[in-house]
Amino acid sequence: MDDLARRIEADKTRELVGFVAEGKCASIARAVVAGGNARAILRDRDECAALGVETGSTLLHVAVRGGFVSASKLLISQGADPSIADDAGMLPIHHAAAADAFKVVEAMLDAATAVESARPFGVDPRDARGRTPVLTAAYAGEFAPVMILAEMGASLAAVDDEGRSAMAAAAEGGHTGVCEVLASMRAAQLVKSRGIRLKL
């Protein structure tokens, strides 16, 4: 590949990063379908870093943090790997949980079951601080992701590396709504796990 071709390819991949950051699905699709380096960077943190994507993120991290559901699904369908962590050890699902992007959380959970990966992440992956997506959502005060994750079987009893549970994290942050949701969902999980039948 000569210098001109390399520059054109670099411009195309930089353009793709911009499309993802803005959630422009049609433009993302055109860039990825065109092939070349655009498809290759879907799984490459180093390539993304060279293009100015922050904190060791992939393009999927960028789309998820922006709350772009359709763009996130499109990237996954084109080969983006939802089990790749950023420099903080956070998977895209952690960012979705923290941003109250509950539709993106659902997309990540669908990806967890649909994408064949050497490192499947399930509903309770841990970041570098030992936080699961439920813990991340509790720290951020976001109750919708907590509910979705709990319904998918995420542990509400998990603690992070500092020994904080989701309930403790939410209480510490003054997130009373999240505390109420956690108490209700935790009770439901305990009832289900012990096979208790409630009389109505």
1-122 — its CATH code? 1.25.40.20
pTM of the model: 0.77
Give 12-51 as a DSSP string.
HHHHHHHHHHHT-HHHHHHHHHT-THHHHGGG-HHHHHHT
Q: Is the pLDDT of residue 175 over 80?
A: yes
d(CA 168, CA 56): 29
Higher pLDDT, 121 or 21: 21
Structure-block tokens of residue 146: 């907590």
Counting every residue written for the chain, the total comes to: 200
d(CA 123, CA 178): 18
Q: Is the pLDDT of residue 59 over 50?
A: yes
Quickly state the pLDDT bin for 118 (edges 50, 70, 90): very low
Q: Is the pLDDT of residue 116 over 50?
A: no
Q: Is the separation of the CB atoms in 66 and 23 below 8 Å?
A: yes
Domain 126-199, CATH 1.25.40.20 — does that match? Answer: yes
Domain ranges of the chain: 1-122, 126-199
- How many CB atoms neighbour CB 2 within 10 A? 7
Higher pLDDT, 103 or 118: 103
Fold: same for 1-122 and 126-199: yes
DSSP 8-state secondary structure symbol assigned to residue 103: H
Give 123-183 as a DSSP string.
S----TTS--HHHHHHHHT-HHHHHHHHHTT--SS-B-TTS-BHHHHHHHTT-HHHHHHHH
DSSP 8-state secondary structure symbol assigned to residue 200: -
Share of the chain above pLDDT 70, in %: 72
Q: Using alpha carbons, select from 54, 53, 45, 67 the residue that is nearest to residue 16.
A: 53
Q: Is the separation of the CB atoms in 149 and 135 below 8 Å?
A: no
Higher pLDDT, 115 or 135: 135
Q: What is the pLDDT of residues 79-98, one digit of tens each?
A: 788 888 888 889 888 988 88
d(CA 21, CA 109): 21
59: left (phi over 0), alpha (psi -120 to 50) or beta: alpha
Higher pLDDT, 127 or 188: 127
DSSP 8-state secondary structure symbol assigned to residue 76: H
Neighbouring residues of 180: CB distance < 8 A, sequence distance ≥ 6? none
